[in-house]
């Protein structure tokens, strides 16, 4: 192992982030139920795994810190330390530090924080020991492999140590075998390999020191193997002590305390030894902790730590892969069936052809009586062949049907691979709600439903921010303080319900609270003050329309929201984000009953439902989500308003503009009837004129390389059935451009839009 | 300019004959050009390249490369030469070629007139230097390969990509 592969690091990171999340969840469970042994075990396991992994890839500071936490947890596990709210808070802060360390490593830094040291001290107090010298972690000793009788095992990595401990816990014997080779043996170069192979026959080799790679390059006078085997020492000696090759063999059984002593030594920094490769890596490629104060992270409040993590790996349940394998298996079977049928058909076809050939060429030459007989026979064969052909065709159609089923199932399955439970998003919220509520002196319980609902992996990161916005609005402005609630006759404890569920082709996420609700009159007033609407317009707004004002950009900023008994912190941002994911947001509220925000999302990001239209001979796809209706407009229905054509749709004057003009700068005269597609942006409709409507279809989004190509009004491409390219229209962009053009329009305005 | 992939072939006997790089050469009109083989993914006929509206004019269009949509540029236009396909909405030609290039994980196509051949460029056949930059408007040519009486202009991938990216910024 000469260098730690990026893949290994990425795997560790993915797993570690999941584990800290698990830690947090279990800690919150523990807080509510201090006697929950399973939660303690879960937290301990998480810490233990992170420690082992961090050691393996040389993230020393994580290993050291987590080890400390693990010690404390071990004492809790053994009921030597009681679970108190203080302890849970301390462990939560520990989890924050571990997460901070992971974040730092992910950004190529090493976490430096006084917080970690403070917590180390606290941990030390709990454990009744002196905390280790924090500088110890950066002192790496060098592995020596001196040929001395007593082996130190110091070459073992943390991961290997944890493997050994695991074996010992399960009562499997682990040995260290130390072979010294005969240097006069003519084949001494392969001695190590021979021994390795012999031992491998009856034991599981945990570590070879020096490694096979090193032994391949040069002869080493001795080597050590750490192995797990159920065979005894005599057996090992008898099997592997080859007198020609080996001059001495020492066998030592490894016990629990050997490893534990080793760990303590490492903790004390006396001879902190890891695998040489890690040591080298630490020196060469890993950034060293700097004492630069600017890189110090001292606080790790939850709001500062809501960083979105991009993860490109997908963990897929093996059952899903199994299903895929089954489908592929069926495909293969189908393939061979098709092949058979094809051969049958070819045979029948050539028989029939031969018959006709002989019939046409030979009929005149045959005497009549024979002719009847021969013809009868030939007729019989011909009928047989036709029958055969018919059967083949029937089978062929059956197989084709099966093929269709398989390909649909395959599509569904492969799409399913990208789906992850929404738990990945939701799991981070309990802590957020807990901390925020405590900060504001409110009592809030968060109920979560439907964590198993699956969403596209690509949405996980993008959903995080909008949901945090919404939740914080509920906590900050929705739920009242306990005394206020009591005065209203409500339970002092407010409730926020976070719920996800599938319905049809969509995923819904709802956040509802039983707080104040939104004061619609105040919303109107605010909008008038902000100059978003006139007071005359406000008079005529329905409650629903008034609520929609909240989503307008510039409706509110943080400092003003506090006077508003509702929300609005960046709701326009929330809406924009959700719309980028192809979804929509709606809101309902009742005074003193609470507020409910519903997010509707498509199942997958990779496929959208679109309306296939033709513009100047090219295929364009308009996302169905943004379309209200399609209509055919007669030229006489057009109304000219300020030089721009409009149509009257149920009392609303909708501007009409041509996509052919937008994309290809061709003039549009609107002399004959035309197709118009009504799209909505905000509260207003726009009519987009296209040449032809082909129909609705699901299209697979093929993103463009934005570094190289950007086309205003086109968000991505897709492949239409015949292999041609179609363009997916960015309706918001098109409408915005139209608005800009209309806004700038001067005297050079043409006779038509 | 740094020539990557410097290597010395085993058969070399004199210093003068060191192989500098492997190239693919092609023509635009009468002039021969060369690109380093390192960047070349594949070569295709210029079939079904669809114009992408509202983009700069160096972009010929987009092409469906095994289910991925890649941009295809006209090398003629990139070098400010005349291009018969200027203004075409769909290029669908059997006698023009597209060289598919992969550079820093960006895949794109370059349409050229004809593919000439594979070249093994020896050190003494290559003349680099920035004075060459004056030969081409956008300094994407960074040297000349003199081989068998022919002057082949060497197109530098780093510079070409920089230029292509900058077009996007301007747009």
- pLDDT single digits (tens) A671-727: 899 999 999 876 789 999 999 999 998 888 888 888 888 888 998 999 887 778 999
Mean model confidence pLDDT for chain A: 79
Q: Which residues contact A433 (CB under 8 A, 6 or more apart)?
A: A444, A446, A471, A475, A496
Q: Please give the biggest Cα pair distance in chain A.
A: 118
A606 vs A616: which has the higher pLDDT: A616
* % of chain A beyond a pLDDT of 70: 84
Q: What is the pLDDT of residue A747?
A: 40
Q: A-chain residues within 8 Å CB-CB of B70? A: 705
pLDDT attached to residue A646: 93
Q: What pLDDT does residue A749 have?
A: 43
Q: Kindly tell me if the per-residue pLDDT of A418 is higher than 60.
A: yes
Residue A95 contacts residue A18 (beta carbons within 8 Å) = no
Q: Which residue has the tokens 């026979």?
A: A377
- When scoring A621, A666, A707 by the number of chain B Cβ atoms within 10 A, the one with the most, hence best to mutate, is A707
What is the model's pLDDT at position B2? 43
* B56 interfacial to chain A (CB closer than 8 Å): no
pLDDT of residue B137 exceeding 80: no
Residue A506: pLDDT band with limits 50, 70, 90: confident
pLDDT at A116: 73
- Residue A655 structure tokens: 């501007």
| pLDDT in the model for residue A113 | 67
β-strands A494-503, A444-449: how paired?
Answer: parallel
Instruction: Give residue A514's pLDDT.
Output: 92
> Between A138 and B149, where is the model more confident?
B149
**Do A52 and A124 touch, CB atoms closer than 8 A?**
no
Residue A402 has pLDDT above 80, yes or no: yes
- Tracing tokens 């190509």 back to the chain, one arrives at A709
What value does the CA radius of gyration of chain B take, rounded to a whole number of Å?
A: 16
Region A361-368 average pLDDT: 58
Closest CA to A258 of A152, A171, A173: A152
Please give the pLDDT value at position A273: 35
Average pLDDT value for residue range A113-128: 75
Q: Report pLDDT for B51.
A: 94
Query: Could you tell me the CA-to-CA distances from A281 to A1, A4, A275, B18 in Å, in that order?
Result: 11, 8, 10, 37
- Kindly report the number of other CB atoms within 10 A of residue A703's CB atom: 13
**Average pLDDT score over residue span A553-575:** 57
Unique residue bearing structure tokens 């960015």: A730
A362 or A330, greater pLDDT: A330
Among A100-114, A335-349, A449-463, B95-109, which stretch is predicted with the lowest mean pLDDT? A100-114
Give the closest residue to A331 by CA, choosing from A277, A434, A407.
A407
- Interface check for B148 against chain A (CB to CB < 8 A): the answer is no
Identify the pLDDT of residue B10: 46
Please tell me which residue, A734 or A458, carries the higher pLDDT value: A734
- Closest by Cβ to A663, choosing from B54, B70, B71: B54
Give the separation between CA A468 and CA A482, rounded to whole angstroms.
Answer: 22
**What confidence score (pLDDT) does residue A584 get?**
84
In 3-state terms chain B splits into helix, strand, coil percentages (rounded to 5) of 20, 45, 35
- Taking the CA of residue B86 and the nearest CA in chain A, the distance in Å comes to 15
- According to the model, what pLDDT value does residue A290 have? 35
- A708·B106 Cβ contact <8 A: yes
CA distance A280 to chain B (A): 28
Residues of chain A positioned with their CB less than 8 A from the CB of B50: 618, 724-725
Distances (CA, A) of A387 to A177, A392, A393, A398: 75, 9, 10, 17
What integer pLDDT is reported at residue A583 of this predicted model?
Answer: 82
Closest chain A CA to residue B161: A708
**Coil, helix or strand for A155?**
coil
State both tokens at A502.
């599938």
Determine the angle formed by the axes of helices A256-268 and A60-77, rounding to 10 degrees: 130
Torsion on CA atoms A117, A118, A119, A125, rounded to nearest 10: 110
Check pLDDT > 90 for residue A545: no
pLDDT at A219: 81
Nearest-neighbour CA in chain B from A658: distance (Å): 14
Cα A514 from Cα A593, distance rounded (Å): 5
| A518 min Cα distance to partner chain B (Å) | 44
A394-411 mean pLDDT: 85
* DSSP at A476: I
Lowest mean pLDDT among A343-352, A688-697, B132-141: B132-141
B-chain residues within 8 Å CB-CB of A724? 48, 50, 64
**A12-26, A242-256, A739-753, B21-35: range with lowest mean pLDDT:** A739-753
A635's CB contacts (< 8 A; 6+ apart) are A670, A671, A672, A673
**pLDDT for residue A217 is more than 60:** yes
Is a pLDDT exceeding 50 seen at residue A380?
A: yes
Confidence of residue A369 (pLDDT cuts 50, 70, 90): low
Arithmetic mean of pLDDT over chain B: 84
Q: Do A709 and B64 touch (CB under 8 A)?
A: no
Mean pLDDT along residues A660-675: 89
DSSP label at residue A625: G
CA–CA min distance B140, chain A (Å): 17
Average pLDDT over residues A79-89: 84
pLDDT band at B26; cut points 50, 70, 90? very high
Could you tell me which residue, A206 or B14, shows the higher pLDDT? Answer: A206
Inspect the interface and report whether the beta carbons of A618 and B107 lie closer than 8 Å. no
State the pLDDT at residue A364. Answer: 52
CA dihedral A699, A705, A710, A714 (to 10 degrees): 10
- The CA distance from A115 to A601, in Å, is 40
Residues of B with Cβ-Cβ distance to A727 under 8 angstroms: 52-53
Does the CA dihedral B43-B48-B54-B57 come out positive or negative? positive
Q: How close A711 gets to chain B, by Cα (Å)?
A: 6
pLDDT attached to residue B13: 46
- Distance from C-alpha of A131 to C-alpha of A137, rounded to nearest angstrom: 12
Whole-number pLDDT of residue A611: 94
Window from A51-60, A215-224, A259-268, A529-538 with minimum mean pLDDT? A259-268
| Partner residue facing A725 (CB), from B53, B54, B64 | B64
| Euclidean distance between CA atoms A498 and A236, whole angstroms | 60
Confidence of residue A282 (pLDDT cuts 50, 70, 90): very low
Give A436's pLDDT tier (boundaries 50, 70, 90).
Answer: confident
List residues bridging with B3 in a β-sheet: none
Chain B CB contacts of A714 under 8 Å are: 52-54
pLDDT of residue B75 exceeding 90, the answer is yes
Identify the three-state secondary structure at position A453.
coil
Would you call A507 helix, strand, or coil by DSSP?
strand
pLDDT of residue A363: 59
Inform me whether the pLDDT recorded for A94 exceeds 60. Answer: yes
Q: Minimum mean pLDDT among A188-202, A464-478, A690-704: which range?
A: A188-202
Contacts 24+ apart (CB under 8 A), A508-511: A508/A598, A508/A599, A508/A600, A508/A601, A509/A422, A509/A463, A509/A467, A509/A598, A509/A599, A509/A601, A510/A596, A510/A597, A510/A598, A510/A599, A511/A467, A511/A470, A511/A471, A511/A474, A511/A596, A511/A597
Tell me, what's the pLDDT at A612?
Answer: 94
Provide the pLDDT for residue A1: 42
> Which residues of chain B lie closer than 8 angstroms to A704, CB-CB?
62, 69, 71
DSSP bridge partners of A681? A684
Rounded average pLDDT over A391-415:
85
Is the pLDDT at A292 greater than 90, yes or no? no
Among A598, A627, A638, smallest CA distance to A734 is for A627
CB A282, CB A140: distance < 8 Å: yes
How far is residue A742's CA from residue A710's CA, in Å, rounded to a whole number?
A: 23
Query: Of A239-253, A386-400, A685-699, A711-725, where does the model show the most confidence?
Result: A685-699
Give the separation between CA B72 and CA B58, rounded to whole angstroms: 9
Pick from B158, B167, B168: which is nearest to B35 by CA?
B158
What are the residues facing A447 on neighbouring strands? A497
By Cβ distance, the residue of B48, B64, B168 closest to A708 is B168
Interface check B114 vs A, CB under 8 A: no
Do B44 and B171 form a contact (C-beta atoms < 8 A)? no
Residue A362's pLDDT band (cuts 50, 70, 90):
low
Of residues A616, A713, A717, nearest to B62 (C-beta): A717
**Among A82-86, A560-564, B30-34, the range of highest mean pLDDT:** B30-34
Q: Is A148's pLDDT higher than 60?
A: no
Sign of the torsion formed by the C-alpha atoms of B138, B142, B148 and B149: positive
Using the predicted structure, report yes or no on whether residue A667 has a pLDDT greater than 90.
no
- The pLDDT assigned to A419 comes to 83
Q: Phi and psi at residue A346, in whole multiples of 5°?
A: -60, -45
Average pLDDT estimate for A368-379: 70
pLDDT at A163 over 50: yes
Look at residue A264 and tell me whether its pLDDT is greater than 50.
yes
Cβ proximity of A95 and A62 under 8 Å: no
């Amino acid at each position: 192992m000469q260098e730690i592969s990026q893949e290994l690091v990425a795997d560790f990171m993915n797993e570690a982030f999941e584990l800290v999340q698990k830690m947090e969840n279990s800690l919150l469970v523990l807080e509510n139920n201090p006697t929950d042994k399973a939660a303690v075990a879960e937290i301990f396991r998480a810490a233990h795994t992170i420690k082992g992994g961090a050691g393996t890839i040389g993230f020393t500071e994580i290993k050291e810190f987590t080890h400390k936490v693990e010690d404390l947890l071990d004492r809790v596990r053994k009921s030597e330390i009681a679970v108190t709210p203080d302890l849970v808070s301390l462990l939560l802060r520990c989890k924050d530090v571990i997460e901070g360390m992971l974040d730092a490593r992910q950004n190529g830094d090493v976490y430096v924080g006084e917080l970690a040291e403070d917590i180390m001290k606290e941990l030390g107090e709990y454990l009744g020991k002196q905390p280790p010298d924090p500088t110890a972690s950066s002192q790496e000793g060098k592995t020596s492999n001196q040929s001395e009788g007593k082996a130190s095992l110091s070459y073992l990595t943390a991961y290997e140590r944890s493997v050994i401990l695991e074996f010992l816990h399960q009562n499997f014997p682990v040995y260290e075998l130390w072979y010294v080779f005969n240097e006069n043996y003519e084949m001494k170069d392969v001695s190590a390999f021979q021994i390795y192979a012999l031992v491998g026959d009856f034991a599981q080799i945990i570590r070879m020191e020096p490694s096979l790679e090193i032994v391949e390059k040069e002869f080493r006078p001795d080597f050590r193997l750490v192995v797990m085997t159920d065979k005894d020492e005599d057996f090992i000696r008898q099997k592997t002590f080859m007198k020609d090759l080996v001059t001495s063999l020492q066998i030592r059984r490894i016990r629990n305390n050997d490893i534990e002593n080793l760990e303590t030594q490492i903790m004390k920094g006396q001879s902190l030894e890891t695998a040489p490769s890690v040591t080298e890596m630490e020196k060469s490629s890993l950034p060293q902790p700097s004492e630069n104060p600017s890189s110090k992270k001292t606080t790790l409040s939850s709001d500062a730590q809501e960083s979105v993590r991009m993860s490109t790996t997908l963990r897929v349940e093996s059952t899903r892969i199994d299903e895929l394998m089954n489908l592929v298996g069926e495909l293969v079977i189908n393939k061979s069936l098709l092949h058979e049928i094809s051969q049958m058909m070819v045979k029948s076809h050539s028989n029939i052809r031969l018959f006709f050939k002989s019939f046409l060429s030979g009929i005149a030459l045959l005497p009549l009586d024979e002719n009847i007989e021969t013809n009868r026979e030939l007729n019989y064969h011909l009928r047989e062949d036709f029958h055969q052909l018919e059967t083949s065709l029937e089978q062929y159609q059956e197989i084709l049907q099966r093929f269709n089923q398989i390909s649909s199932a395959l599509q569904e399955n492969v799409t399913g691979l990208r789906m992850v439970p929404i738990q990945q998003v939701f799991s981070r919220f309990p802590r957020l709600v807990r901390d925020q509520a405590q900060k504001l002196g409110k009592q809030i319980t968060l109920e979560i439903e439907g964590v198993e609902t699956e969403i596209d992996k690509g949405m996980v990161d993008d959903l995080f921010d909008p949901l945090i916005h919404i939740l914080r609005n509920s906590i900050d402005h929705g739920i009242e303080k306990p005394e206020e609630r009591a005065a209203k006759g409500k339970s002092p404890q407010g409730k926020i319900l976070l719920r996800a569920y599938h319905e049809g082709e969509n995923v819904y996420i709802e956040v509802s609270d039983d707080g104040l609700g939104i004061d619609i009159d105040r919303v109107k007033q605010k909008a008038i003050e902000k100059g978003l609407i006139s007071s005359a317009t406000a008079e005529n707004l329905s409650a629903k329309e008034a609520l929609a004002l909240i989503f307008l950009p510039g409706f509110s900023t943080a400092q003003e929201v506090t006077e508003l008994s509702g929300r609005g912190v960046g709701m326009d941002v929330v809406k924009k984000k959700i719309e980028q994911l192809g979804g929509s947001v709606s809101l309902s509220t009742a005074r003193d009953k609470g507020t409910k925000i519903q997010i509707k999302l498509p199942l997958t990001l990779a496929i959208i439902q679109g309306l296939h239209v033709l513009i100047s001979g090219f295929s364009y796809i308009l996302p169905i989500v943004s379309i209200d209706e399609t209509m055919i407009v007669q030229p006489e229905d057009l109304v000219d308003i300020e030089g721009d054509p409009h149509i009257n749709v149920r009392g609303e004057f909708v501007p009409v503009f041509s996509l052919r003009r937008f994309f290809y700068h061709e003039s549009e005269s609107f002399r004959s009837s035309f197709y118009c597609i009504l799209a909505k942006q905000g509260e207003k409709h726009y009519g987009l004129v296209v040449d032809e409507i082909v129909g609705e279809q699901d299209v697979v989004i093929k993103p463009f390389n934005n570094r190289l190509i950007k086309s205003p009004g086109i968000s991505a491409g897709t492949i239409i059935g015949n292999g041609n390219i179609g363009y997916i229209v960015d309706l918001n962009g098109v409408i915005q451009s139209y608005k800009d053009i209309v806004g700038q329009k001067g005297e050079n305005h043409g006779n038509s839009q | 300019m740094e020539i990557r992939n410097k290597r010395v072939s085993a058969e070399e006997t004199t210093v003068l004959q060191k192989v500098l790089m492997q190239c693919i050469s092609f023509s635009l009109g009468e002039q021969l050009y060369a690109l380093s083989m390192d960047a070349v993914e594949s070569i295709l006929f210029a079939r079904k390249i669809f114009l992408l509206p509202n983009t700069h004019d160096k972009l010929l269009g987009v092409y469906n490369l095994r289910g991925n949509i890649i941009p295809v540029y006209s090398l003629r236009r990139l070098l400010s030469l005349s291009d018969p396909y200027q203004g075409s909405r769909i290029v669908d030609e059997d006698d023009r070629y597209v060289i598919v290039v992969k550079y820093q994980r960006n895949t794109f196509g370059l349409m050229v007139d004809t593919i000439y051949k594979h070249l093994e460029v020896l050190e003494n056949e290559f003349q680099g230097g920035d004075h060459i930059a004056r030969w081409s408007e956008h300094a994407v040519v960074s040297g000349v390969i003199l081989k068998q009486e022919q002057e082949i202009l060497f197109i530098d991938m780093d510079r070409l990509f920089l230029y292509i990216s900058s077009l996007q910024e301007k747009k």
